Structures are given as structure tokens and as C-alpha cells.
Amino acid sequence: MIDLRELKSRHDEIAANIKNRNMRVDLDAIIALGDKRSSVMQEADALRARRNEVAKQMKGKLDPETRAKLIEEGKELKTRIAEIEKEASDLDAQYLAAARTIPNYANPKAPIGKEDKDSTAVKFVGKPPVFDFKPLDHVQLGEKLDLIDFDTATEVSGPKFYYLKNQAVLLQMAIERYAIDIVLKHGFTPFITPDVAKEEILNGIGFNPRGAESNIYTLEGTGTALVGTAEITLGGYYAGRVLDKKELPIKMTGLSHCFRREAGAAGQYSKGLYRVHQFSKLEMFIYCLPEESDKWHDYLLSIEEEIYQGLGLAYRVIDTCTGDLGAPAYRKFDIEAWMPGRGENGEYGEVTSTSNCTDYQARSLQIRYRDDEGKLQYVHMLNGTATALSRTMVAILENYQQKDGSIAIPEKLIPYCGFSVIPAKH
């Protein structure tokens, strides 16, 4: 969450940011709730002070009438304090829940807009392939070469699940190891993270585990949910901790399964592997000093570009508009790889994103460090997708298909796969 002490002093700026993000947040109602919360807490403090004063008076010499009055007042205070502490606790929970709906401040350089079409392409790398035959999409390729089975997965698990088969299994493992080797070269500590996180961690990271708009699968009755990304488990790793400034930046990379409800996701751009309920992803995560987060954000993007340039895929870099940032991000860059099977003539599709969330997540999770003066400060937290394996699979299958029906393997992946081509089946 943002610094709640600034709700009044930066009211207009916060309200404009909410509007620019195309979010519905009643800022004035939250401020009013905060004022009520403060008033009730002050009343509770006054009642506790009076209770202490009564207790102090009871220790002295008193006549029976005065003592009886004080005893009666003490009973009334006890009852009233219990009531007002309950009210204060309820108001505090309501206020913090409402405050978490206020998005992070946005970088002034982020394009202002309501949806992805308002984002800005800031860089193009490589040229989309030109085929001398009609290319197939990855769903057709997967079925034709016996690499992906959507039909059986639908029967076993439901829509938007899939089986990978044969060479596709080895190809996914190759992409995974190729990306890990690049990230490790940059000094990241590797993790395989849990697939489950507590709801307070999800809330702290900025994922809503409840409600119709939630993209998260909750595990009923457990207070936990399946993670949608290792950002959640890597971001929760140091929750409630005070980090040593000398250790910053802390660079972590986590491999995890990712589970997303994807409610309402439909259409040709969501078909096949592009938008599914379960996939695997290698995530990068950095905890750093506030003054260095912009630098590390560019660094995460450079690693993502290194990975996809190595795969020989044409891509573009997107500076994400305010309406598509999500609540935690201060600024976000996406890499969209060329996918020949999207639309009539091919289109770019997102394969990675990297976000600078500044201190927004750290405030909720209480992750801090001591500055040179010994004062506690909040770290800045950043995340970046090294590779989303299913979408990278889409790009490779579609871009590397050949006229004879086979699929070539990108040169960088051949040592990991152990083969250079997925042969055609006739």
C-alpha cells in the first residue's frame, strides 16, 4: 500500500492517479473511515487513561461511598473499553482493507491510458519471419505433431488445461534450463517455491484472493491460495523482516507452477497455450534500496531481452499504460514476441513483464532496512518474468515451423534438447 499519512496531503495527486489507472476507488470515503478510526482510537486511549486513574485512586484511603462509586465506574469503564476496542479493531481492519485498494503512484513517464492499446511500443528487435507457405498456429502444430493434447486435458481437468507430450516435454525443460543458466550468470539465487501462499501474503503483494474479480484459486477453509506467480512466494520470503543494508540488492529467481482462474478470458488471442489455468514460469525478484530501483528495473528488462534475443525471436518492448499497470506497479515493461498464429497475419503476444513496485508491497509486508542513520526504511521490490514457459513454447513452435511440417529448434536450445528438429508426421 502507499504511505497512508499522505492521503490528505497528496489527495489530488492520488485521486488523479486512481482516475488515470481507470480504477474505482472512493478516496474520500477511505479518508473519512480513517478519521473515524482515529477518533475511536483516541476515545479508547482516553478511556484507558481514565481506567488507570481510577485504579490509582483505589489504592489510596477512601470513604466507603467514594470507593463504591469508583468500583462502579471501573466496571463501566471495563465494559465500555471492551466495546470500543472491538469497534476500533473492526474499523482498523476495514480501513486497511479499503486502503489496499488504492493503487501505487505511477511513474510520470508511464503512458496515460485506460487499456493495452494505449501502451507505447518503445523498441522493436528482429524481423518477423516471412513464410513461403501458409503457417499453422501452435494448436494445429501441437495436434499434427502429437506434442500437445487439449482434448484429453479438457476431459480430465476441464477447459484451458493441456498435456505436453513427446518432444514438447523436452523442449519446455530446455527453455527452462536455458533461462535459468542466463539468470544464474547474473548472480541470482535460485529457488523452487511453494505453490501455495497464505492470503495475507497475497494481499501484501497486491493479489486479491477473494471476490468475483479475483484471478486466484483459493483453498477453502485453509486461509491459503494457489499462487499465480512466484512473485508472490519470493515477495513474501522476507515478510516482517529487517534486512541488512549491506546485503542489498537481494536477487532471487524462482521456478513455480502458476495457477490462474482467467475468468472471462476468451477469443482467438486466448486460445491454446496462450491463456491457461496452469503453467510454469521462471520469475526474477529483487529487493533493493529506494534510490536504485529504476536502475534495477532496466536491468531486469535487459535480462529478459537477452533471453529472447538468444532464442532468435522478433519482439517489441511495451511501456505499459497506467490503466494496465495493476495496483502495485509504479512502472511496467512487457516484452511481446511475434506469434505468426495470432490473427490472420500474425501479431505480437506478451511473453514477459517486469514491474517496479517501489515500496508498495514492502509497506504491506513490513519489509525494511536500516539506513546509515539507523532509521527503518522500506525496501523497494521489483519482479520480472525470465520466461513464461507455455507462451515461449507458442512463439518457438510458430516461428520455427518449416515447410515440410517439421519444427526447427533454436540454436541455443539444441544442447539442452538433444535434438535440432521435431520431425514432421505424415
pLDDT digits over 16-39, tens only? 999 999 999 999 999 999 999 999
- The C-alpha torsion from 229 through 231 and 234 to 240, rounded to 10°, is -120
Q: Which of 353, 355, 364, 390 is catalytic?
A: 353
Span 116-128, mean pLDDT?
A: 93
**C-alpha distances out from residue 65 to 59, 62, 68, 117, Å:** 15, 8, 5, 78
Q: Hey, what amino acid is at 360?
A: Y
pLDDT at 263: 61
| CB hemisphere CA count around 324 (13 angstroms) | 20
List Cβ<8 Å contacts ≥24 apart for 4-11.
Answer: 4/34, 4/99, 7/31, 7/34, 7/102
Residue 340 and residue 134: Cα distance in Å, rounded?
10
**Reported pTM:** 0.91
Q: Which of 176, 350, 355, 368 is catalytic?
A: 350
Q: Which of 21, 331, 363, 391 is catalytic?
A: 391
Question: Is residue 126 pLDDT above 60, yes or no?
Answer: yes
Question: Is residue 288 pLDDT above 60, yes or no?
Answer: yes
Task: Give the angle subtended at the CA of 247 by the CAs of 244 and 248, to the nearest 5°.
Answer: 100
pLDDT at 62: 81
**C-alpha distances out from residue 156 to 142, 149, 277, Å:** 18, 11, 14
Q: Hey, what amino acid is at 213?
A: E
Residue 354 and residue 318: Cα distance in Å, rounded?
10
Residue 138 and residue 396: Cα distance in Å, rounded?
9
Q: What is the pLDDT of residues 403-422, one digit of tens each?
A: 999 999 999 999 999 999 99
Residue 280 and residue 286: Cα distance in Å, rounded?
20
Is 350 one of the annotated active-site residues of the chain?
Answer: yes
Q: Tell me 188's DSSP state.
A: P
Q: What is the pLDDT of residues 275-284, one digit of tens each?
A: 999 999 999 9
Q: Which of 37, 100, 260, 368 is catalytic?
A: 260
Q: Which of 275, 331, 363, 368 is catalytic?
A: 275
Is 260 one of the annotated active-site residues of the chain?
Answer: yes
Q: Tell me 346's DSSP state.
A: -
Task: Provide the 10 A C-beta neighbour count for residue 424.
Answer: 14
Is 210 one of the annotated active-site residues of the chain?
Answer: no
Which candidate, 251, 252, 248, 259, places its Cα nearest to that of 290? 248
Is 353 one of the annotated active-site residues of the chain?
Answer: yes
Is 390 one of the annotated active-site residues of the chain?
Answer: no
